[in-house]
């Protein structure tokens, strides 16, 4: 039962830092430290860090996933985080910028401040590369188990279990990995203009 709530309530905390010129190395050390500390917090589900440029300065977009709004708020309000942010403030051009998003809205949004979002055809290609192997492999993996029980082998039940496995795997694991892996291609400046 707790696992069901966990997946229903997942939120992402998006933190953007534009680092002043000359502070890149100390900021990287600070970032490694706070990411490690945040990872030990109750309810923390993972973090992705994306690097980009904005107005000539390094832009870091950190996406932290939490099992609930309460867990996220505990981290935001914690004296430990506030102390760490105070340490970083002299290195930041615009301060500590935070926003909250539902987890399913954040596949391709992190780079928004570093430039225009990726064109939809690139989003579609990356999504296809993630979804296609799942649709081929997950039914094969579930197959032997579904045949063990008449209830599980019912079309609707089997489809639900396979779809649930694909969605959870894509949203929580493979899509964040794919967006990190393809980030340079997704955000490349020589991409053609998209017709909306």
Tens digits of per-residue pLDDT, 37-93?
998 998 888 888 888 888 889 999 888 888 888 889 999 999 999 999 999 999 999
Query: What span, in angstroms and rounded, lies between the C-alpha atoms of 103 and 96?
Result: 21
CA 179 to chain CA centroid, nearest Å = 8
Q: Identify whether the C-beta of residue 91 lies closer than 8 Å to the C-beta of residue 27.
A: yes
Residue 94 has pLDDT above 80, yes or no: yes
- Contact at 8 Å (CB) between 115 and 187? yes
Measured CA to CA, the distance from residue 188 to residue 149 in angstroms comes to 50
Report the predicted TM-score, pTM, of the whole model to 2 decimal places. Answer: 0.53
Ordered by start, the domain boundaries in the chain are 2-109, 120-186
Q: What is the C-alpha separation between 35 and 48, in angstroms, rounded?
A: 9
CA 158 – CA 151 distance, rounded (Å): 9
3-state secondary structure of 51: strand
**pLDDT greater than 60 at residue 1:** no
Q: What is the CATH number of domain 2-109?
A: 3.30.70.100
Regarding predicted confidence, which is higher, 175 or 87?
Answer: 87
Work out the percent of the chain whose per-residue pLDDT is above 70.
81
More confident residue, 1 or 76: 76
Secondary element (H or E) of residue 38 = helix 24-38
Residue 19: band (very low, low, confident or very high) from pLDDT cuts 50, 70, 90:
very high
56/62 Cα distance (integer angstroms):
19
How far, CA to CA in Å, does 113 sit from each of 53, 179, 190?
A: 9, 16, 17
């Amino acid at each position: 039962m707790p696992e069901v709530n966990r997946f229903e309530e997942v939120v992402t905390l998006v933190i953007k830092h534009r680092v002043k010129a000359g502070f890149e190395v100390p900021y990287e050390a600070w970032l490694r430290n706070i990411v490690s500390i945040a990872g030990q917090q109750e309810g923390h589900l993972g973090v992705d860090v994306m690097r980009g440029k904005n107005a000539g300065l390094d832009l870091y977009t950190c996406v932290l996933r939490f099992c609930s709004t309460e867990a996220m708020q505990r981290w935001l309000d914690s004296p430990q985080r506030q102390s760490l942010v105070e340490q970083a403030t002299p290195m930041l051009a615009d301060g500590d910028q935070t926003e909250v998003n539902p987890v399913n809205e954040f596949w391709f949004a992190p780079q928004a401040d570093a430039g225009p979002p990726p064109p939809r055809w690139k989003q579609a290609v990356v999504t296809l590369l993630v979804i296609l192997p799942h649709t081929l492999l997950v039914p094969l993996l579930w197959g032997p188990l579904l045949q063990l029980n008449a209830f599980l082998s019912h079309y609707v039940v089997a489809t639900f279990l396979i779809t649930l496995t694909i969605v959870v795997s894509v949203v929580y694991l493979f899509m964040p990995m794919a967006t990190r892996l393809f980030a340079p291609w997704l955000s490349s400046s020589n991409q053609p203009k998209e017709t909306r």
